[in-house]
Amino acid sequence: MEEPFVPRLDFARLYRRFDAPIAELDCGQMCAPHNSSGKPFCCDICYAVPAAYRPEWTYLRGNTDLWKEWRGDECPGEPFDPAEVWAETPEHMLLLACKGPAHCQRDFRSVSCRQFPFFPYITADSRFLGLVYEWAFEEVCWVISHQETVTQRYRSEFVRFYDEVLAQWPDDFECYADHAEEMREEFAARKQRIPLLHRNGGFYLISPQSERLERVAPERFKRFGPYR
Protein backbone atom coordinates (compact mmCIF):
# COMPACT_ATOMS: atom_id res chain seq x y z
CA MET A 1 0.00 0.00 0.00
CA GLU A 2 1.23 3.50 -0.82
CA GLU A 3 2.41 5.54 2.19
CA PRO A 4 0.25 8.66 2.75
CA PHE A 5 1.98 11.95 1.92
CA VAL A 6 3.28 13.81 5.00
CA PRO A 7 4.75 17.29 4.46
CA ARG A 8 7.99 18.33 6.17
CA LEU A 9 6.79 20.79 8.78
CA ASP A 10 8.99 22.61 11.29
CA PHE A 11 6.87 22.52 14.44
CA ALA A 12 9.27 24.64 16.51
CA ARG A 13 8.76 27.43 13.96
CA LEU A 14 5.03 26.80 13.55
CA TYR A 15 4.52 26.94 17.32
CA ARG A 16 6.44 30.24 17.56
CA ARG A 17 4.19 31.74 14.89
CA PHE A 18 0.94 30.47 16.44
CA ASP A 19 1.39 31.43 20.05
CA ALA A 20 -0.93 34.38 20.76
CA PRO A 21 -3.36 33.92 23.64
CA ILE A 22 -6.91 33.64 22.38
CA ALA A 23 -8.19 36.65 24.39
CA GLU A 24 -6.82 39.45 26.58
CA LEU A 25 -8.25 37.80 29.69
CA ASP A 26 -7.60 34.26 30.94
CA CYS A 27 -10.67 32.50 29.60
CA GLY A 28 -9.84 29.40 31.68
CA GLN A 29 -10.91 31.38 34.73
CA MET A 30 -14.29 31.98 33.13
CA CYS A 31 -15.13 28.35 32.36
CA ALA A 32 -13.31 26.38 35.08
CA PRO A 33 -15.82 27.32 37.85
CA HIS A 34 -18.49 25.52 35.78
CA ASN A 35 -16.51 22.27 35.62
CA SER A 36 -16.82 19.93 38.61
CA SER A 37 -13.10 19.05 38.25
CA GLY A 38 -12.23 22.77 38.56
CA LYS A 39 -10.18 22.57 35.33
CA PRO A 40 -10.81 24.62 32.18
CA PHE A 41 -12.87 22.31 29.97
CA CYS A 42 -10.37 22.20 27.10
CA CYS A 43 -7.59 21.19 29.54
CA ASP A 44 -9.71 18.39 31.00
CA ILE A 45 -9.07 15.09 29.26
CA CYS A 46 -12.53 13.94 30.33
CA TYR A 47 -14.06 16.60 28.04
CA ALA A 48 -11.58 17.13 25.24
CA VAL A 49 -8.93 14.66 24.08
CA PRO A 50 -6.10 16.55 22.36
CA ALA A 51 -5.05 15.29 18.94
CA ALA A 52 -1.64 15.90 17.38
CA TYR A 53 -0.28 15.53 13.88
CA ARG A 54 2.04 12.51 13.73
CA PRO A 55 5.14 14.66 12.90
CA GLU A 56 4.08 17.05 15.67
CA TRP A 57 4.15 14.14 18.11
CA THR A 58 7.70 13.31 16.95
CA TYR A 59 8.68 16.92 17.73
CA LEU A 60 6.94 16.95 21.13
CA ARG A 61 8.30 13.57 22.21
CA GLY A 62 11.83 14.74 21.49
CA ASN A 63 11.50 18.00 23.43
CA THR A 64 9.25 17.55 26.46
CA ASP A 65 7.89 14.92 28.82
CA LEU A 66 4.57 16.81 29.07
CA TRP A 67 2.66 14.41 26.81
CA LYS A 68 2.02 10.72 26.40
CA GLU A 69 -0.20 8.78 24.07
CA TRP A 70 -3.83 8.65 25.17
CA ARG A 71 -4.81 5.19 26.42
CA GLY A 72 -8.55 5.76 26.58
CA ASP A 73 -8.93 4.72 30.23
CA GLU A 74 -7.78 8.01 31.86
CA CYS A 75 -11.27 9.02 33.02
CA PRO A 76 -13.20 7.00 35.54
CA GLY A 77 -16.74 6.52 34.16
CA GLU A 78 -15.65 7.68 30.66
CA PRO A 79 -18.06 10.34 29.36
CA PHE A 80 -17.39 9.01 25.85
CA ASP A 81 -16.61 5.72 24.18
CA PRO A 82 -12.81 5.52 23.53
CA ALA A 83 -13.36 3.21 20.54
CA GLU A 84 -15.52 5.88 18.92
CA VAL A 85 -12.97 8.61 19.64
CA TRP A 86 -10.22 6.53 18.00
CA ALA A 87 -12.44 5.68 15.05
CA GLU A 88 -13.07 9.39 14.46
CA THR A 89 -9.35 10.28 14.60
CA PRO A 90 -7.91 10.79 11.11
CA GLU A 91 -4.97 8.60 10.01
CA HIS A 92 -2.49 11.48 10.02
CA MET A 93 -3.17 12.29 13.69
CA LEU A 94 -3.01 10.56 17.06
CA LEU A 95 -4.49 11.23 20.48
CA LEU A 96 -2.48 12.52 23.43
CA ALA A 97 -2.87 13.11 27.15
CA CYS A 98 -0.91 15.78 29.05
CA LYS A 99 0.04 15.99 32.71
CA GLY A 100 -2.81 18.43 33.38
CA PRO A 101 -3.23 22.22 33.38
CA ALA A 102 -1.18 22.68 36.57
CA HIS A 103 1.86 21.36 34.64
CA CYS A 104 1.21 23.11 31.32
CA GLN A 105 4.31 24.16 29.37
CA ARG A 106 2.98 26.89 27.10
CA ASP A 107 5.74 26.49 24.51
CA PHE A 108 4.81 22.84 24.07
CA ARG A 109 1.05 23.16 23.77
CA SER A 110 -0.15 21.07 20.87
CA VAL A 111 -1.81 22.66 17.85
CA SER A 112 -5.14 21.32 19.10
CA CYS A 113 -4.68 23.28 22.38
CA ARG A 114 -3.75 26.43 20.44
CA GLN A 115 -6.69 26.27 18.07
CA PHE A 116 -9.39 25.29 20.58
CA PRO A 117 -12.35 25.93 20.30
CA PHE A 118 -11.94 26.74 16.60
CA PHE A 119 -11.24 24.90 13.38
CA PRO A 120 -10.67 26.24 9.86
CA TYR A 121 -13.92 26.61 7.92
CA ILE A 122 -13.70 25.27 4.35
CA THR A 123 -16.54 26.17 1.99
CA ALA A 124 -18.25 23.63 -0.27
CA ASP A 125 -16.14 25.06 -3.12
CA SER A 126 -12.89 24.55 -1.14
CA ARG A 127 -12.02 28.00 0.20
CA PHE A 128 -10.61 28.49 3.71
CA LEU A 129 -12.76 31.38 4.93
CA GLY A 130 -11.88 31.79 8.61
CA LEU A 131 -12.54 30.34 12.06
CA VAL A 132 -15.65 28.49 13.24
CA TYR A 133 -16.15 26.80 16.57
CA GLU A 134 -16.45 23.14 17.57
CA TRP A 135 -20.18 22.99 18.20
CA ALA A 136 -19.95 20.05 20.64
CA PHE A 137 -18.48 22.51 23.19
CA GLU A 138 -21.16 25.22 22.95
CA GLU A 139 -22.50 24.61 26.44
CA VAL A 140 -19.13 24.57 28.24
CA CYS A 141 -16.66 26.87 26.48
CA TRP A 142 -16.91 30.52 27.50
CA VAL A 143 -15.08 31.75 24.37
CA ILE A 144 -17.78 30.30 22.08
CA SER A 145 -20.28 32.56 23.85
CA HIS A 146 -17.88 35.55 23.74
CA GLN A 147 -16.25 35.47 20.34
CA GLU A 148 -15.95 39.24 20.41
CA THR A 149 -13.09 38.74 22.91
CA VAL A 150 -10.94 36.76 20.47
CA THR A 151 -8.07 39.05 19.54
CA GLN A 152 -7.24 40.01 15.97
CA ARG A 153 -3.67 38.87 16.61
CA TYR A 154 -4.90 35.36 17.51
CA ARG A 155 -7.17 35.30 14.45
CA SER A 156 -4.32 36.35 12.13
CA GLU A 157 -1.94 33.76 13.56
CA PHE A 158 -4.60 31.05 13.23
CA VAL A 159 -5.20 31.95 9.57
CA ARG A 160 -1.47 32.16 8.79
CA PHE A 161 -0.90 28.75 10.42
CA TYR A 162 -3.64 27.02 8.45
CA ASP A 163 -2.80 28.80 5.19
CA GLU A 164 0.63 27.22 5.47
CA VAL A 165 -0.40 23.75 6.68
CA LEU A 166 -3.49 23.21 4.54
CA ALA A 167 -1.66 24.29 1.37
CA GLN A 168 0.87 21.52 1.92
CA TRP A 169 -1.29 18.76 3.34
CA PRO A 170 -4.22 17.58 1.21
CA ASP A 171 -5.32 15.00 3.83
CA ASP A 172 -5.65 17.72 6.47
CA PHE A 173 -7.52 19.99 4.08
CA GLU A 174 -9.95 17.13 3.29
CA CYS A 175 -10.56 16.43 7.00
CA TYR A 176 -11.49 20.03 7.70
CA ALA A 177 -13.60 20.23 4.54
CA ASP A 178 -15.53 17.17 5.77
CA HIS A 179 -15.86 18.67 9.26
CA ALA A 180 -17.25 21.91 7.81
CA GLU A 181 -19.72 19.88 5.76
CA GLU A 182 -20.86 18.14 8.98
CA MET A 183 -21.28 21.55 10.59
CA ARG A 184 -23.43 22.76 7.71
CA GLU A 185 -25.63 19.67 8.09
CA GLU A 186 -25.93 20.20 11.85
CA PHE A 187 -26.81 23.89 11.54
CA ALA A 188 -29.20 23.27 8.64
CA ALA A 189 -31.05 20.75 10.85
CA ARG A 190 -31.17 23.33 13.65
CA LYS A 191 -32.30 26.03 11.20
CA GLN A 192 -29.47 28.27 12.36
CA ARG A 193 -26.72 30.14 10.60
CA ILE A 194 -23.05 29.43 11.36
CA PRO A 195 -21.06 32.17 13.15
CA LEU A 196 -17.74 32.85 11.41
CA LEU A 197 -14.66 34.86 12.39
CA HIS A 198 -13.76 35.77 8.83
CA ARG A 199 -10.13 35.90 7.73
CA ASN A 200 -10.77 39.57 6.79
CA GLY A 201 -11.26 40.37 10.52
CA GLY A 202 -15.07 40.70 10.41
CA PHE A 203 -17.87 38.74 12.10
CA TYR A 204 -20.30 36.95 9.80
CA LEU A 205 -23.21 34.53 9.79
CA ILE A 206 -23.14 31.87 7.05
CA SER A 207 -26.23 30.22 5.66
CA PRO A 208 -25.56 26.46 5.91
CA GLN A 209 -27.46 25.82 2.65
CA SER A 210 -26.31 28.57 0.29
CA GLU A 211 -23.19 29.66 2.25
CA ARG A 212 -24.35 33.25 1.73
CA LEU A 213 -22.56 35.55 4.19
CA GLU A 214 -24.00 38.39 6.23
CA ARG A 215 -21.65 40.72 8.09
CA VAL A 216 -23.01 41.28 11.61
CA ALA A 217 -22.07 42.77 14.96
CA PRO A 218 -20.63 40.05 17.22
CA GLU A 219 -23.49 40.65 19.68
CA ARG A 220 -25.68 38.82 17.14
CA PHE A 221 -23.83 35.55 17.93
CA LYS A 222 -25.74 33.22 20.23
CA ARG A 223 -24.66 32.55 23.81
CA PHE A 224 -25.02 29.21 25.52
CA GLY A 225 -25.41 27.44 28.85
CA PRO A 226 -24.27 29.39 31.91
CA TYR A 227 -22.80 32.15 29.69
CA ARG A 228 -26.14 33.51 28.47
What does the binding site for ligand SF4 look like in residue numbers (CB under 6 A)?
Answer: 27-28, 30-31, 40-42, 116-117, 141-143
CB nearer ligand SF4, residue 170 or residue 226: 226
Q: Minimum CB separation from ligand SF4 for residue 224, in Å?
A: 11
CB neighbourhood size of 222 (10 A): 11
Q: How far is the CB of 209 from ligand SF4 (least distance, A)?
A: 29
> Cβ 142 to ligand SF4, closest distance in Å?
4
Whose Cβ is closer to ligand SF4: residue 9's or residue 23's? 23
Q: Residue 117 or 120: which CB sits closer to ligand SF4?
A: 117
Listed residue (129, 123, 130) closest to 210, CA to CA: 123
CA of 50: how far to CAs of 61, 67, 116, 197, in Å?
15, 10, 10, 23
Closer CB to ligand SF4, residue 104 or residue 188?
104
H or E element, residue 197: strand 194-198
CA atoms within 13 A on the CB side of 6: 13
Residues 103, 86: Cα–Cα separation, whole Å: 25
Q: Least CB distance from residue 85 to ligand SF4, whole Å?
A: 18
